[in-house]
Amino acid sequence: MRTTITQHLNQFDLDVRKTNDARFADQKCTPDVVCFIADCVINIVGTNSSFTVKNIWDSQYFMKNAVAVFGKPWPNNPTARHEYDKFIQQPLRLFGSAHILSVEKIGGTNHYRIQNEDILDYISRRERNTYNFLYCYFKKVMEDSGMWKYFNEYIEAARYGNATKTEYMTLRDRFIRFMLGNTAINGDVEIRRIFPKILNIFSVENNICGSERGTISKHAITFSDLMYNRKNWRDLNKEKSVTRQEAADETPDVQQEAYNAYYVQKAIALIRKIQKESEVHDAWGNGIATQVHHIFPKSQFPQIAHYVENLILLTATQHNTKAHPNNNTHVIDRDYQLVLLLAKSETIEKSLKKVGDKYYRKESFVYVINTGLSVDWSSTLSFTDLRAMLIQFYNAT
């Protein structure tokens, strides 16, 4: 999918020295936030419809899921407005800069339309997809702007363990001067907040140290380090689902169930979109496939409940008489579970050959297997080997 993203971006000159666009990135443009806002656009906006930040803000889909996913206060809470004003706007402006959305200013308000629905849909599916997009996008902007060579110098030094605070500060200060000289930003505080969002994407890609608390990190930046949904130092003594103003007045309920439900429903929706018939071609596979089934039960394995690699589309008969004997959803037919894993492996293999990692990742499928079966198999195994090992495992147990 990175090839598709790169082909799209290569149609445009993203040189900040020409666009003078300071909002090609921003401090709220983390993989989880960008993914979430993309999902809101996909679910709220029609393909040819014009929309504004307010249209997203006022939607029930955004309100409910912003609370569930990010532990934010309800968007319609008057005291929360300052905590949301950039949360929607910054990713939308990033999409505009990347020509994923088109932008038209009418009466001082940005009006957006979907320009590349395929890539936007890909971004919306999961944070790993968003990370892939951000890597391609930030690299293209830095290349077009003549800044990539400096980022690359730091990356190469860090790969060989030669990146120190001096190299980090040299790159950061060069980026600050670049932004001050080519955009409307007139102070370096804001730029210092943007810089880590760019550098740390490259750091994860290359497994090197990046930016942490204004200086070079002690360890390599990980994928989870990129996320917005981490405790802000100002919020350590309060829950994130209340505003700072209200923090002393109330303590919110933990909404883990709603959080999990959001991601599971996203995964189920993707399966329904991309699979049009049962993925298991057996005697019970005749008829319309209406059931999305967790191969490893959601109740026992909540950590993989939202993985599309753990979901499979079945007919009602397959689901209610084979996967769950006698329609007892608390019971799993172990023999049929093997059938489902073998079928899912074929679905994923075919999809990877056809559209790359647009929908599935082999690494994620192996993680699902390792979690569900308590094994430690390598993601470098071929699908043929995986199927053989699955058969051997189930026959032995």
pLDDT band at 258 (very low <50, low <70, confident <90, very high): confident
Q: Domain residues of the chain, as ranges? A: 2-230, 257-396
CB-based contacts of 187, cutoff 8 Å, min separation 6:
none
Per-residue pLDDT at 236 = 30
Question: What is the chain's mean pLDDT, rounded?
Answer: 90
The CA radius of gyration of the chain, in Å to the nearest whole number, is 23
Per-residue pLDDT at 79 = 67
The winner for highest mean pLDDT among 41-50, 226-235, 313-322 is: 313-322
For the stretch 166-194, pLDDT in tens is: 999 999 999 999 999 999 998 899 999 99
Per-residue pLDDT at 255 = 55
DSSP 51: B
CB-based contacts of 21, cutoff 8 Å, min separation 6:
97, 183
Token pair in block for residue 236:
């350590």
365-392 in b/e form (b: 16+ CB < 10 A) is bbbbbeebbeeebeeeeebeebbeebee
Letter for the amino acid at 180? L
Say if pTM beats, i.e. exceeds, 0.95.
no
Find the mean pLDDT for residues 31-48.
Answer: 92
Higher pLDDT, 134 or 86: 134
For residues 194 and 134, what is the distance between their CA atoms, to the nearest angstrom? Answer: 13
